[in-house]
Chain A
């Protein structure tokens, strides 16, 4: 069997049904074999970066390993942003790249790039296949590595002559792995008991949930733990939708754009139970002022996250699901209503203050766009946001109830992520409505993927929050650079005509009172619909913590600001 066929067989064996890619010289043998494997559905993207993001979106939505394919040289280097995005957010992915034939490696051949070297710091692992009889084992190991422990992207580089050469196909035994995955690591009973002891002593405890809860599918376990102990729950950007926003214990998102009461609660807490999060700088602000009175119980599957930012009193290296189950068993039921009421008091006080600021605008309001989407989809939609102001509005104003319904590039902050990632998400979750929420800047970064949508006949709904600015950068310029709006005004195409050019439906909404009807109409329209919401050009994300400040000192919206 030729190497290219062994590769296809190996992918099938790992349960792959869909992959995203772009052909080219060094990967042509694989594409030649692909037509004999109709069970492998290949989506032709318009740029390899989108292939990586689509595989990423597929993986985030389904929990399965996403697969993308590119040729050597420029094809492979175009994957780099997507791999880095997946690496920062711990997304299981396998990227397959063609490589020039073995005799040409290291000799500056046409379309030769040292992809193993280039992707080394942004992949969990990468493999250069040296001979055809290695293919089956390497593919199996790559999938194992990608999905085990803390997931991440893995790259397989296959020289063209290795794809062409013949070898016997020996399928590796599934489940056979010499890697220590840590998936089944049982947390030490001593540490669990110690954690329970701290929880029993705490008067002002908080649970912080991150992406780890979603990755380990621990929604029910988190809920059971929070309900038994009555501890309020905070969700980081990537932890959103791990715990329902409608739950009485739910508080909100912490950090740079978190509501003031959440950050204030962190400032006053005496115990933080962090589950599957890494205390990113956007969450902590100035670390020395983050949770200054709190002890920390840190649950994470990655031992190198322990004590990295905050020293943990009790570090529990474990899968979130296993650790939460073990903890829930030993903790005593408690009542923290005094503490919760105190936080709710701050929340109401803030909301009263915000409510007193008069907003007189004709333009669509970001919050109302998001609540209209939620209303029109009964909260069942998967929302894929891009990066910028709209991302923070989406995180804050959408009411998350469906588990794992929020997909965004958190760690790397990759503009242009949303549209291709939504392609992957909608293929992974057929039947679920998928909404892209993007700014006019980020949307234009991978706008070419509208053609992929068209070719595949996919139905996405796209809400562009169009303010004619690279809004988040403009906001920083307003706050920290004396309104010196350097290179942030940005124009865009007529999105209605653009949609029509790709055979899709487009709408342009300029008035707030048209939002609800437009969203409803988009849901009723077959196929992909792009709505260009022309919002207030200098709307800001409030509150905001200046970078490097403590999270309890926030820039809040004032009446003068919008006057």
Chain B
């Protein structure tokens, strides 16, 4: 008879990678919910109850042809095991139609910032030259408003440690 130890049992676990428990990563979740009263509340409620370490939370139209679906994007930091459990809890919400954990798929991420800079008529060109690549949205005699954006393709491997397979 071979002794079965817990060590073996741990390696054997199904449905999980070997990412160590407790190791936190940034995860981007996209949650599609049916727009009914309280639907968004419930999603945020689950995040609140779990004291999710959120870095960004946005709410918008899903972009699907069906306009009754809202899309909630959450950027948060948690362990893989924690995120998996959160995703399952979110999927239990009746109005939630779909939950995607982006780091599991190649995706495009980006940031957009708009800055208003104090300027004079004399130094306006200098500012625009200095910040080459930005987009000028507005120029007034006192200010210039500029838009900065970054877009990058995020690969699976950048967010998660290399898998053992």
Contacts and interface: CB of A to CB of B under 8 A. Distances in A.
Given A121-B45, A270-B4, A307 B38 contact: no
Given A203-B1, A293-B6, A307 B85 contact: yes
B10 interface: yes
B130 interface: no
A293 B49 CA distance: 32
B42 interface: yes
B13 interface: yes
Nearest to A314: B14
A311 B10 contact: yes
Nearest to A270: B4
B36 to A, nearest CB: 8
A116 interface: yes
A292 interface: yes
B14 A145 contact: no
A536 interface: no
A304 B85 contact: yes
Interface string B90-104: 011111000000000
B13 to A, nearest CB: 5
A292 B6 contact: yes
A270 B5 CA distance: 8
Q: Is the interface of A mostly helix, strand, loop or mixed?
A: mixed
Nearest to A291: B6
A142 to B, nearest CB: 10
Contacts of B85: 304, 307-308
Contacts of A171: none
A412 interface: no
Contacts of B14: 191, 194, 312-315
B16 interface: yes
Interface stretch (A123-131, A227-235, A278-286, A544-552): A123-131
A120 interface: yes
Interface in B79-129: 81, 84-85, 88-89, 91-95
Nearest to B38: A116
Contacts of B56: none
A295 interface: yes
Contacts of B64: none
B88 A120 contact: no
Interface residues of B, number: 28
A302 interface: yes
A457 B4 CA distance: 59
Nearest to B37: A128
Contacts of A307: 13, 15-16, 81, 84-85
A128 B38 CA distance: 9
Contact of B91 (A202, A294, A303): A303
Contact of A120 (B1, B12, B41, B92): B41
B43 to A, nearest CB: 11
A121 B49 contact: yes
A271 B94 CA distance: 34
B88 A303 contact: yes
Interface string A252-279: 0000000000000000001100000000
Interface in A353-374: none
B9 interface: yes
B155 to A, nearest CB: 27
Given A304-B89, A313-B12, A126 B38 contact: yes
A117 interface: yes
A201 interface: yes
A95 interface: no
A179 interface: yes
B49 A201 contact: no
A306 interface: yes
Q: Size range of the interface on A?
A: 35 or more
Contacts of A194: 14
A163 B47 CA distance: 34
Interface in A460-476: none
Interface string B4-46: 1110011011111000000000000000000011100110010
Nearest to B94: A125
Nearest to B15: A315
A121 B89 CA distance: 12
B4 to A, nearest CB: 5
Contacts of B16: 307, 311
A124 B94 contact: yes
A119 B10 CA distance: 38
A145 B49 CA distance: 22
A304 to B, nearest CB: 4
Contacts of B45: 120-121
Contacts of A271: 4
A130 B37 contact: yes
Contact of B9 (A116, A125, A127, A295): A295
B73 to A, nearest CB: 21
A38 to B, nearest CB: 33
A151 to B, nearest CB: 12
Interface in A365-413: none
A432 B14 CA distance: 45
B92 A304 contact: yes
Given A120-B45, A121-B49, A307-B15, A302 B37 contact: no
A295 B42 contact: no
Given A307-B81, A312-B14, A117 B41 contact: yes
Interface string A293-334: 111100000111011100111110000000000000000000
A121 B84 CA distance: 20
B68 to A, nearest CB: 13
Contacts of A293: 4-6
A116 B94 contact: no
Contacts of B9: 294-296, 311, 313
B15 A295 contact: no
A125 B81 CA distance: 26
A216 B14 CA distance: 25
A295 B9 CA distance: 6
Contacts of A203: 1
22 contacts: A116-B37, A120-B38, A120-B42, A121-B45, A121-B49, A124-B94, A125-B94, A125-B95, A126-B38, A128-B37, A145-B94, A191-B14, A201-B4, A202-B4, A203-B1, A270-B4, A293-B4, A304-B92, A307-B16, A307-B85, A312-B13, A313-B13
Given A295-B12, A308-B85, 8 more contacts: A120-B45, A121-B45, A191-B14, A303-B88, A304-B85, A307-B85, A311-B9, A311-B10
Interface pairs A-B: 5 shortest CB-CB: A304-B88, A125-B94, A295-B9, A128-B37, A303-B88
